A and B are shown apart, each in its own frame.
Chain A
Amino acid sequence: MELTPSVLDIDWSEVETKIRRFIKDYVEQTGAKGIVLGLSGGLDSSTTAALSALAIGGDKVLGLLLPEQETYNTQDIKHAKLVAEKFGFKTEMIDITPALKVFYNTIPVFEKADKICKGNIKARTRMIYIYYYANRLNLLVCGSSDKSETMMGYFTKWGDVAADISPIMDLFKTQVRKLAQHIGIPKEIIKKPASPALWPGQLAEEELGIKYETLDLILYGLEHFMKPEEIAKQLGLKTELVEKIKHRWLYTEHKRRMLLTTKIEYRTVGTDFRLPRTLY
């Protein structure tokens, strides 16, 4: 297998159709009234929100803008509203700063210098807001995680990844960019550098230590059972770098699997309750 960017090229019309059908079918099957999702103004959530609106109609999609003081970014908010306007879905904005402050002030071991732990509070607080809307209004939570960050474990466990469905999770970041272009997401959103915005100035590629164009090809190779040496050779990289990516992928599997217990009884939750996800 030759690892060139073209391996990531698929028929974007077909992908769009498949994702739209998946969303529509799941909403109908579950009897939910629509979809709620967190809207950051970034590529992934903009694309997911737009696809949701295309699938079930914008009047049934609610994008929640959940900014907070430290990472407040007017451009991101402008972008989120731009997508909402273009694809005709509803938005609501809630400043989560007061809620975050309560956590910071009431957790006895809170350490403000630990930005990862603090950032995770932000992602999990957003999850609480989103799920409240879902419960209250009978909506499904639509996740926006892509395959690159999911495979890297580059997300907050029980935070941004928490969702009922994750329609773009089988697409790498560079593929999401192409799909976004295909469905008409504004260029400025596609081009801006990815950031989880858990602290000021946080940039995904800087933190991951690799460009998505390279990371996606490495992950594609690993997905296709290629050996790290072979991937490294083809991409002109050091084998150690590919090994490091592979290790991170395998090391973070616990973040992608739910409900681990130890086997005691006849059929165990998580490991051998093998049931369809929904009844129908």
Chain B
Amino acid sequence: MKERFKVALAQISCKRADKTENIRKIEDNVVKAREQDAELVIFPELSLTGYTLRDQIYELAETIPGPSTRLLEKLARKMETYIVFGMPELSEKTQATIYNAAVLIGPDGLIGKYRKMYLPTHSVFEEKRYFRPGYQTAVFETDLGKIGLIICYDIFFPEVSRLTRLKGAQLIVCISASPAVRRTFFETLTAARAIENTAFLAYVNLVGIEDGLQFWGGSRLIGPNGKVLVKAKYDEEDLVIGEVNYVDIRPVETFVPTLKDLRPELFDKLKENAEKL
């Protein structure tokens, strides 16, 4: 397993409901990222289809594996790289049950997927109308270490990142489609999740305008001490490369030992009180 590698944050805008065009853009970015020696290339939430799909989602959702993941598997094999992207996942057992999924693909093909647990359905968001929530966190052992996947609004719930970290993730990848009015929240929470879990956190957000919603970009790689290692532009497409070096986790873990100091008995109390809210 590599202790040290480069990761590319591919902050793209999507052409809504046009998977062919979006896959082409994903390919372009993977090629460019590989030229800069990145071994993991991360794309935003629902980057296969665009975010604001509403009822069109029923025509666009695919199973995993499915036609689109197979195309991207080919790309990952050819480019010998790891790719994370987002897509609406159609359940294999149904015809209209859809998850908001993050997919991890590697040089040997499909590695795994994560289904978004927290679906925002307030303000401009209507995810619960369309998606079934996931029930599992997702951590995958790869040549690039243990990689955990979370999606956007999940970051407001520290337990998702915590559980992902407790399952061993050293790098938490958060893919996102966050509109501009929420920028401060994400800028704060991405750093907080990295610090409290002493893990690397790669946040990749969408850009562009969909139905009047302007996505703010600002993708970033954050070190386990909360330091922003690289940051993409606000509001515009960008591709930035940062370096993950897991050796950096150790000094932070000794300096602020949040995992050592974890109190499991509090989780029972959390559960008890959350039920009574």
Among A17, A26, A276, max chain B CB count under 10 A is at: A276
Q: Which residues 223-266 of B sit at the A interface, judged by CB distance below 8 A? A: 235
| List of A residues within 8 angstroms of B192 by Cβ | none
Nearest Cβ on chain A to B69's Cβ, whole angstroms: 24
Cα–Cα, bound, A275→B59 (Å): 12
Closest to A273 in B: B55
Q: Are the CB atoms of B211 and A276 closer together than 8 Å?
A: yes
B184-216 vs A, CB cutoff 8 Å, 1 = contact: the mask equals: 000000000000000000000000111110100
A26 to B15, CA, bound (A): 13
- Contact B211 A280, beta carbon cutoff 8 Å: no
Judge if A274 is at the interface, Cβ distance under 8 Å: yes
B23 at the interface (CB under 8 A from A): no
Residues of chain B contacted by A267 (CB below 8 angstroms)? 55
> How distant is A175 from chain B, measured CB to nearest CB, in Å?
15
1/0 contact string of A212-247 vs chain B (CB within 8 Å): 000000000000000000000000000000000000
Interchain CB contact under 8 A, A280 and B16: yes
Cβ-defined partner of A275 (8 Å) among B56, B129, B212: B56
Q: Is A277 an interface residue (CB 8 A)?
A: yes
Knowing A25-B209, A274-B54, A274-B55, say if A279 contacts B16 (CB, 8 Å): yes
Output the nearest chain B residue to A167 by Cβ-Cβ distance. B212
Minimum Cβ distance to chain A for residue B84 (Å) = 24
Which residues of the other chain, B, contact A25 by a CB distance below 8 angstroms?
Answer: 208-209
**Cβ contact of B214, chosen from A22, A273, A276, A280, cutoff 8 A:** A22
Report if B180 contacts A (CB, 8 A).
Answer: yes
B56: chain A residues within 8 A (beta carbon) = 275-276
Q: Quick check: B235 and A276 within 8 Å, CB to CB?
A: no
B180 cross-chain contacts in A, Cβ below 8 A: 18
B159 at the interface (CB under 8 A from A): no
**A to B contact number (C-beta, < 8 Å):** 38
Q: How far is the CA of A17 from the CA of B235 in the complex (A)?
A: 10
Q: Tell whether B96 is near chain A: CB-to-CB under 8 Å.
A: no
> Least Cβ distance of A140 to chain B in Å?
14
A21 touching B209, Cβ below 8 Å = yes
Which range holds the interface residue count of chain A? 10 to 19
A22-B16 contact given A274-B55, A275-B55, CB 8 Å threshold = no
B209 touches A277 (CB 8 A): no
B9 to chain A, nearest CB (A): 21
Q: Are B235 and A21 in contact (CB under 8 A)?
A: yes
A276 to B208, CA, bound (A): 15
Chain A residues contacting B11 (CB-CB under 8 Å) are none
How many Å lie between the Cα of A150 and that of B209 in the bound state? 23
**Which of B17, B209, B212 meets A279, CB within 8 Å?**
B17
Residues of A1-38 at the interface with B, using a CB-CB cut-off of 8 Å, are: 17-18, 21-22, 25-26
Q: In the complex, which residues of chain B have a beta carbon less than 8 angstroms from the beta carbon of A26?
A: 209
Chain A neighbourhood of B211, CB < 8 A: 276-278
Q: Are A22 and B15 in contact (CB under 8 A)?
A: no
Bound CA span A21–B235, Å: 10
Residues of B within 8 A of A278 (CB): 211
Whether B18 and A280, one on each chain, are in contact in the complex, defined by CB atoms closer than 8 angstroms, is: yes
Does residue B219 face the partner (Cβ distance < 8 Å to A)?
no
B170 within 8 A of A: no
Asked if residues B209 and A276 are in contact (CB atoms below 8 Å), the reply is no
Inter-chain contacts of B111 with A (CB < 8 A): none
Chain A residues near B53: list those with CB within 8 A: 276
27 cross-chain CB contacts under 8 A: A18-B180, A18-B214, A21-B209, A21-B235, A22-B209, A22-B214, A25-B208, A273-B55, A274-B126, A274-B129, A275-B54, A275-B55, A276-B17, A276-B53, A276-B54, A276-B56, A276-B210, A276-B211, A277-B211, A277-B212, A278-B211, A279-B16, A279-B17, A280-B15, A280-B16, A280-B17, A280-B18
In the A-B complex, the 4 residue pairs with the closest CB atoms: A274-B54, A25-B209, A274-B55, A277-B211
Q: Which residues of A contact B (CB under 8 A)?
A: 17-18, 21-22, 25-26, 267, 273-280
**Seed contacts A22-B212, A274-B126, A280-B17; 6 additional CB < 8 Å A-B pairs:** A17-B235, A21-B214, A22-B214, A267-B55, A275-B55, A276-B52
